Each structure stands twice: as C-alpha cells, then as structure tokens.
Structure 1
C-alpha cells in the first residue's frame, strides 16, 4: 500500500534543449548493438513495464507542455495552466485552453511508436508473459493503437467531470458554447486529468509501483523523467533487479544509469527493436 498522499509535481530541473508499423530506413546492413541489446532483454523478460510520456504523442502532432504554444495561447505558460491553482483562479481560462488542446489532438492518429508498443504487448502476452503499459499521456492514442489495460497515471482529456457531483461526462455530451462548461447539476465541468498540485489516483499509483517493483524489464519511452512520482518508477524497478531501457530524443537525468539508451524518435526506434525481436533486422 502507498503511505500518504502522492502529489503530481515537477522539480526545478529542466533537461537540455502490426501493418501500421513502418520500418525505418537502415543506414547499415548490421543492426545497432543497442537495438540488439534491447531486443535481447525483452526476449528474455517474463514481465515488462513500459512508461510513456509526451514525446510519444508529440510524433502524432500533439505538442508537449515544453513546446512553444501558438496563436492566442502563445503568451500563456502551459505548465502554469496545468495546475489546480490556475483552475481555481480562472476556471474559464483553463477550461478554454483544455478544450482548445482537445480540438487540436482529436484528429491526431497513433504513430508507429504507439503501434509498436501494442504489438510488443501482443507478442509478450502470446508467449505467456505479462505486459504493463503506464502512460503520463491523456490523449487515448495508446488505446486507439490497440494497447489494452492501459494505466493512465495522469488521467484523460477525453472525459470531463463535474466538480459538484463527480459524475463523468463524455465530450460529445458537453455544451461548450460558454466557459467554463457546467453540468445539469450546476457544477463546473473540468477535464478528467491530474493537474500539478493534485493527488494522483491511488489505484493507478498502486499498480504502477507494484508492477515496477516486480518486472524483469522497465522501459521509459518519450519522457523527460522529471515529473514525479512517475520519474521514480524506473529507479524502483532497477532497485528490484530489473533491466532498464530508455527511448528518448535526447539524454535525460536517467540516461547514465539505464542499461540501454536508444536516442531517437520512439516511432523509429521501437519498430527497429521489434524487427530485431522478430528476426527481420
């Protein structure tokens, strides 16, 4: 059991600067050694945990909180708008922004990275192994790619809930003609996400810590590894003997401690690992 409340937070550190899978062009005839090592770890694992972050969805066209916003929202800091205090101060502003973010991502589709993880889950479970996908993303793209039993640590933008009754509402049932939107009970509707400063859902957190402490391989994909408590999961896994793999565009605070770092887009690196697993590399 988890003792005490766990709050979504970010430290002061900022890092620098199956048919759906598309094989990336090869620059040599031989697979890279890091790809081979990652594939071998996965092949030998009985249980795999994958933690994904905004970098995975960015390849589908969904901007991360650290990207510069455009147009009317360029003057606002997304990191501040995604805080519970901002909602309390100005619910109209925050709900308008989240509705705008949803309209930007609703037409986005899963990319090869999403599909590769769904296929990796299928193959792992087909051979009797266990596969746990934990995501910090709120866009539902993993599920659309075919991943099942996804743990959405930071919630989902695809449903909103009433601040008065707690009832969840599908987006198509919400009247967004004015902001903040309200429910039939008169309560303000807010996105069903976890904001900075809020407690994370205990059920999802229990699963994340339990799975991470018992897995053979832990993969961190497309995450800066600075948002807590998700960033601590790979250390927990490693302390219990798991081998660790990182997939990210650039080095992160965990890069020096993981067993394998694959620097590049998840949509390019993960299909290469799958090819190696399937003897196609």
Structure 2
C-alpha cells in the first residue's frame, strides 16, 4: 500500500481456491494528516492466487494513470497496514494522510450479494444493509429483489448459516425463527405468511442479535452469514459482522413484502 496527497494505491491477494470479491476498509492511522472519511474499495472476481492493484482518490483529487507492475513501493520497518506520511511514488503539493487498513473481507464471487447491475442467474438479488445498533442490540436488514421473469413464492424464513472469517460454519450458535426471540419492537417479529414476489417485486427480512458478554464462554465474532432465500435456492454470502458476544443466539425475521 502507498499513499500521497492525491491518491491511495493498494494491492489485494486472493489466497483461496475460488474467485472472490475482496473489500478493503481504510482509515486514519492515528498519525500525520487525518483522512476526512474512511475509504472503502472492492475488487470483484479476483482469481485464486491472483493479486490485483487498485487506487482511490483522496480529497476529491483525480486518480492518476495506472502504475506499471512493480511501481508500488514497500516500506521497511513500517507496521503492517500503516503508511508513513511521506509515502507515495508521485509528487503532490498536499500532505499525505496517515492511512491504515482497518478491515479486509472477501466472499466467493459465485455467492456475492447483488444490489444492482446484471441480474444473477438465479433471477433473485439478495443483500444486507448496514444495519442499526443501539444499547447492544443489533438489527441488520436482509433484502430480496426478484429481477427475473418468473414469480417467486415466499413462505417462511430465509435459511441462515453463521460463518467465521475463513467461511467455516460457527458451532454453538442457535439460529432462531423470529426477531422476537431476541427482542421485541424491532419490526422483525411478524409471523410468517405465504406471498408472491412478482418480477420487479421486493421482500425483506432481518437478522437480530445482542452483543452481550459474560464469563460463561468466549465471545463469538462471525463476519459472514450464508443466506438462502428459500430451501434449495442459490446461497448468497453477506457480511453483517455478527458480534454475538456470549449470547449464542441469532434471530431471523420471516420474509415480508416490501414496497407496493
């Protein structure tokens, strides 16, 4: 990673065995010039074992032309993910902010959530929103859009599997039907009902949990969840950042229609 006053350059590597969408969150390192906002970037379809470079403009600066391979410098003696104030291969009249990598997440490209663009082969988009958190209670919305040409019948709850940072299933977490199993008044406790989502129609669900900790066990932090809209449907991996504490419980709301 390298940064100057105009742009941030970074590199991501996919160590897995399948193509992956890799997202990176950057933040201020605590030294040097501050970033005005945290920055995020996504590289889609990174092949197994491949490394891909990208760049982000800083403070509205234009992104310079791509660097040739090998032009991205490294910095000896600098903590991993932290860029010194003077870093950067190109000159800039602006001081370079101090930047570090805050978080890296990846999902298999074949299971990546979709909010726009081409309709997935399944004809259904599924994705999670940024959620809401208050007093240890978390609610993250799940959203479904029928972008295909056939009607979709929903009757019940999405199937949800909790996954750790390596995409492995997390044991010891009870996935419960209904948000009321965790807390009432979240809007996620309606009983299931059968309804049809026409082409262009939408539906919603939610994940509800508490970040409560005690001495009973180690806290569970699971970045990912694999979601199937209906039994047997194609899986989608979302990133709700499940900080379940020691509660060991995750509530899943029933599908309900969204919009007209």
> What TM-score comes out, normalization by structure 2 length?
0.27
**Higher normalized strand content (fraction of residues):** 2
**Higher normalized helix content (fraction of residues):** 1
> What TM-score comes out, normalization by structure 1 length?
0.25
Q: Which fold has the larger relative contact order, with Cα–Cα distance below 8 Å and residues 6 or more apart in sequence?
A: 1
Q: Which of these two proteins has the greater Rg computed from alpha carbons?
A: 2
